[in-house]
Amino acid sequence: MAQTNYSILQKKTVKFLRSKKHLFINNQWVSPINNTYFPATNPADGEVLSEIPLADKYDVDKAVEAAQVAFETQWIKTSPEKKSRLIWRLSDLMERDKQVLMELETIDNGKPLDKAEYDVDSAIKHFKYYAGWATKLEGSTFPITQHSLVYTKREPLGVAALIVPWNFPLMIATWKLAPALACGNCCVLKPSEKTSLSTLYLGTLIQESGFPEGVVNIITGGGIPTGSSLVTHPSVNKISFTGSTKVGKQINGLNAHYNLKNISLELGGKSPNVIFSDADLEAVGNSLHWSSFYNSGQECTLGSRIYIQKPIFDQVVEQLKNQSQKLTIGNGLDNPDLGPLIDRQHLDKVLKYIDMGVKDGGELILGGEKLNIESLNKGNFLGPTIFIHDDDSLPIVQDEIFGPVVVVSSFDSFEQVIDRSNSSNFGLTSAVWTKSHSTALKFVDAINAGTVWINGYDQFNPAVPFGGFKDSGIGKEMGKNAIEEYTREKAVWFNY
Ligand code: NAD
């Protein structure tokens, strides 16, 4: 069933798709020990794109051992300048093959090509940013007493297990890989079983860049046994996990029980997007449909709880509905605004929530049904779905649906909207729209979220820390914070 239009893909993309896939261990492409594979499927049309190796515990052992040996014998001896050059070279090769990476991301994940371009650009920027950090890993000195030199030195942790979700496969892999390498760690990278292709292609570029063998290893497979064998492996020193809160808590539990490895968890979200009546409504109108439905709602940071102050409620809701109706939906290769959901199982989960929302008395003002368009029938397409409801205790308001579904609600006062915004187990991101500096800064003080956007949404930069509070996670990615996540600091007392 060949439906993907291969003729518009780069030759390199097609060649890679047709090539046999392997695990990447010690700079070599190797078959999984059990010779077991699983399909990579295009969510836009159900086509099987490639067969992906399923790594079991034995393969994980090999990858971790390769990383450990590389750490002890190679990477630790590599000068910061050389590390920096290698990381930069990798980013250059990604720029060269940017179109291939975009195409792989689009057909494997479903996202539109221009959104995949944003992801690849962001990944490249991350490598360039952290290439600079490799030469700047400093400690501190402390003037404590006479005749003593007291200082700290920053050291790599060792073997880092990097576990990535399916919604931004390449970009999130880079958020982890770039600082981990710059800090001197060796890595075992595991993409989601739903989106392995761009990471495996990255492996070819890592090989071409000239990294010493074993510095980066890539294993593919699902949560159990691949991911679980990795996080419980005694030679892994660092776990960096991005994914659901449920799995993050499981991993944290395992870690507490067995290992006490350094751990960072970037988990789910259900972010409040708060619009006061003095907001610039044109700016709100240009942003709200994107902050609700970007990546078909499959993004942890999206503003899926929208609170609008009463005097402007009807106007803003109307604006959101109109703009959302205009969003085009289709196969990512045709560059629509929104692509499909990742798979049928996920679509069914989202549809169940919509059903629940209706039964709980939500007023469904847009969407809510799988799209019934002949050309899209084989994909997992669902259009923007908007509920109006004022009960914050409902599952559609409390749970992370991770699809194109938002709940809109009205509020009266600042105090009320703060209470409602904070009445969530999550605390990833938030946004406030107002012309009043005082309202904006009071919101910043009161909100329980790791990021606050004022009169904007979903802005990121490799230099700015990102990470959630409460059930949204532990630790930060990006910026100087990521350097702290991938190093340990040793205090030295030298009495002379
Ligand atoms: P998931 O938790 O199902 O899987 C994430 C990764 O963990 C995958 O690679 C998976 O194979 C692996 N995994 C699953 N079970 C495991 C186990 N027992 N041990 C080790 N590894 C295991 O999440 P998902 O469905 O891939 O991604 C969606 C979730 O990710 C959403 O909740 C979303 O909010 C979250 N997310 C968070 C951020 C952030 O930065 N906070 C960014 C993107 C996505």
pLDDT digits (tens, 9 = 90+) for 353-411: 999 999 999 999 999 988 777 777 889 999 999 999 999 999 999 999 999 999 999 99
Distance 268 CA to ligand 1 centre (A): 9
**Span 236-251, average pLDDT:** 98
**pLDDT for residue 2 is more than 60:** no
Per-residue 3-state assignment (H helix, E strand, C coil) for the chain: CCCCCHHHCCHHHHHHHHCCCCEEECCEEECCCCCCEEEEECCCCCCEEEEEECCCHHHHHHHHHHHHHHHHHCHHHCCHHHHHHHHHHHHHHHHHCHHHHHHHHHHHHCCCHHHHHHHHHHHHHHHHHHHHHCCCCCCCEECCCCCEEEEEEEEECCEEEEECCCCCHHHHHHHHHHHHHHCCCEEEEECCCCCCHHHHHHHHHHHHHCCCCCCEEECCCCHHHHHHHHHCCCCCCEEEEECCHHHHHHHHHHHHHHHCCEEEEECCCCCEEEECCCCCHHHHHHHHHHHHHHHHHCCCCCCCEEEEEHHHHHHHHHHHHHHHHHCCECCHHHCCCECCCCCHHHHHHHHHHHHHHHHCCCEEEECCCECCCHHHCCCCCECCEEEECCCCCCHHHHCCCCCCEEEEEEECCHHHHHHHHCCCCEECEEEEECCCHHHHHHHHHHCCCCEEEECCCCCCCCCCCECCEECCEECCECHHHHHHHCEEEEEEEEEC
Give the residue, by CA position, lying nearest to ligand 1 atom 13: 223
pLDDT at 21 (0 to 100)? 98
Mean pLDDT of 106-132: 98
Taking the C-alpha atoms of residue 293 and residue 403, their distance in angstroms, rounded to an integer, is 8
Closest C-alpha to ligand 1, atom 36:
243
* Cis before 225 (ω within 30): yes
Those residues with Cβ within 8 angstroms of residue 251's Cβ, 6 or more apart along the chain or in another chain: 231, 239, 241, 263, 265
> Among 60, 174, 244, which residue has the most ligand 1 atoms within 8 Å of its CB, making it the best to mutate?
244
186 has catalytic annotation: no
* 302-to-69, 141, 298, 406, 425 alpha-carbon distances in Å: 41, 42, 8, 9, 16
- Given the CA of residue 243, which atom of ligand 1 is nearest to it? 30
C-alpha torsion sign, points 357, 360, 366, 367:
positive
How far does residue 323's CA lie from ligand 1's centre (Å)?
31
Q: Which residue from 38, 126, 163, 485 has its CB within 8 A of the most atoms of ligand 1, so it is best to mutate?
A: 163
Of 52, 60, 111, 167, best ligand 1 pocket probe by most atoms within 8 Å of the beta carbon: 167
Of these residues, 65, 193, 266, 400, which one is catalytic?
A: 266
* Cα-Cα-Cα-Cα dihedral sign, residues 38, 39, 40, 44: negative
* pLDDT at 372 (0 to 100): 74
Q: Going by CA atoms, what residue is nearest to atom 39 of ligand 1? A: 266
Q: How far is the CA of 423 from the centre of ligand 1 (A)?
A: 24
What pLDDT is recorded for position 122?
Answer: 98
Q: Which of 145, 103, 141, 144 is nearest to 120 (CA)?
A: 103
- Residue 164, pLDDT > 60, answer yes
What pLDDT, on the 0 to 100 scale, is given for residue 370?
80
State percent of the chain over pLDDT 90.
95
Overall average pLDDT of the 230-235 stretch:
97
Instruction: Determine the residue type at 27.
Output: N
- Section 23-38 average pLDDT: 98
pLDDT-based confidence at 79, cuts 50/70/90?
very high
- For residue 391 the two structure tokens come to 């009960």
Instruction: Determine the atom of ligand 1 nearest the C-alpha atom of 165.
Output: 26
Which residue's CA is minimally distant from atom 15 of ligand 1? Answer: 223
Catalytic residue among 300, 400, 477, 485: 300
- Nearest residue by C-alpha to atom 40 in ligand 1: 266
Q: What is the mean pLDDT of residues 76-93?
A: 98
Amino acid 3: pLDDT:
59
Q: Scanning the structure block, which residue is given the tokens 């946004």? A: 431
d(CA 496, CA 147): 5
Distances (CA, A) of 16 to 11, 47, 104, 200: 9, 16, 9, 10
What is the 274 CA–ligand 1 centroid distance (Å)? 27
Q: For residue 300, which atom of ligand 1 is closest to its CA?
A: 34
pLDDT digits (tens, 9 = 90+) for 430-440: 999 999 999 99
CA distance 139 to 490: 9
| 267 Cα: distance to centroid of ligand 1 (angstroms) | 7
In degrees and rounded to multiples of 5, residue 27 shows phi and psi of 65, 15
246 Cα: distance to centroid of ligand 1 (angstroms): 9
Going by alpha carbons, the residue nearest to atom 16 of ligand 1 is: 223
For residue 251, how far is its CA from the centre of ligand 1 (angstroms)?
A: 11
Report the C-alpha gap between 348 and 463 in whole angstroms: 38
- Provide the token pair at 168: 């931004």
Q: What separation in Å is there between the alpha carbon of 428 and the centre of ligand 1?
A: 15
Residue 417: is its pLDDT beyond 80?
A: yes
Work out which ligand 1 atom sits closest to the CA atom of 221: 11
**For residues 251 and 265, is the Cβ–Cβ distance under 8 A?**
yes
Report the chain's mean pLDDT, rounded to a whole number: 96
Average pLDDT score over residue span 487-491: 98
Residues with beta carbon inside 6 Å of ligand 1? 163-167, 172, 190, 192-193, 222-224, 227-228, 231, 242-244, 247, 250-251, 266-269, 300, 400, 402, 428, 468, 473
Q: Which atom of ligand 1 is nearest to the CA of 168?
A: 43
